[in-house]
Structure formats: C-alpha cells, structure tokens
Amino acid sequence: VPTWKNLTESFKNELPSSIKSETDDMKVAQIYKNTYGEKAYLDKVRDVLKDGKVAFNPIHRAILQLNPVHIITTNYDNLIEQSIESYYKQYDIITKDSDLPYYRYPNKVVKMHGDFRSGNIVLTEEDYYNYAANFPLIRSFVTSLFTTNVVLFVGFSFSDLNLKIILNDIKTILN
C-alpha cells in the first residue's frame, strides 16, 4: 500500500504548482477536497491507497498472533479485517460512533480515522480539527484504553495530531 507521502504527492500532482512546496499534508488534502469535491477526493484516496486491490500480509498475521484484546488503527483499508476473517477470529469492527453500542464480541478493531466503507475518513485539516465533535465516542473509548491498558504501537509515527491531543489530555488529567 502506498505511503501517506505518496498520497500527498498524488494530490499535489493535480493541484496548481503553487501547492507543490506545501509541506502540511492535511492542508494539501483539504485543498484537494475543496478543489475537486467530496466524491473525487474519496475516489482519489481509494485509488492511490489501492482500496480493494491489496491483501493482508505477515504483519497483520503477526498482530493477530499476539491475541490483542483490541486493535486501534488509523488505516482506512480492510487489511486487518481480511486477516481476522482468514483466521476465524471474532472482533467487532468499529468505524463510527454508532457502532460502539452494538458490539457482540469482547474484542474490537477500532478504526479511529474511519474507513473506506463508511466513507468517513479523517485526512483533511477540517477532519482533524473536528475530530472530537465527529468521533466523540470513539475518542473517549480510545482515551480510556490508553489510560487503563498497555498499548503496543506498530508502524505508527506519533506525528498524528489526534493521537498527540489524546495523549496530551491523558498526561494533563493524570499529571
């Protein structure tokens, strides 16, 4: 799957040359969405990130072999779900706040930045700035997990604005 940088560069290739030097990925995504509209923006993200064209890999298998109670991901793809299905594991997939009250299993995959199926991905400046309002239950759930559990981060850069805010909130509350 292409990287976040690949996605940003793909946006820049279709925007005016004045945007080429922009280094704020969220701003580039916002400009693309504002320029081309919601549908074209989502289609572009799906196309560049190869939605439905890639399969899970050994990393997903290794994550499941750890038998995590919950998996929190910022990825929009369904690779974790593919791996879960292939191993007949039971996890509820949480992609939006309305999914949380209707869980069936004790284990959850929390897609805290939405997913392609729901069309609620978090990528633009507005998405990040409005995260607490758009995903209040997921944000609270993730915050509670961070305060009461050991969390293993895999393939995560810690540059994500939402995670920084959540971790800062926890630090402030717990001194």
Active site residue 160: no
From 25, 32, 113, 115, the catalytic residue = 113
- Enclosing H/E stretch for 44: helix 38-48
CB distance 138 to 100 below 8 Å: yes
DSSP 4-33: HHHHHHHHHHTS-GGGTT---HHHHHHHHH
Query: What distance in Å separates the CA atoms of residue 117 and residue 90, rounded to the nearest whole number?
Result: 19
CB distance 1 to 22 below 8 Å: no
Active site residue 97: no
From 51, 77, 115, 127, the catalytic residue = 77
CB distance 112 to 142 below 8 Å: yes
Active site residue 113: yes
From 25, 32, 60, 76, the catalytic residue = 76
Query: What distance in Å separates the CA atoms of residue 79 and residue 60, rounded to the nearest whole number?
Result: 7
Query: What distance in Å separates the CA atoms of residue 1 and residue 5, rounded to the nearest whole number?
Result: 11
Structure tokens at 39: 């549908």
| Interacting residues of 141 by C-beta distance below 8 A, sequence separation 6+ | 94, 100, 110
Positions marked catalytic: 76-77, 113
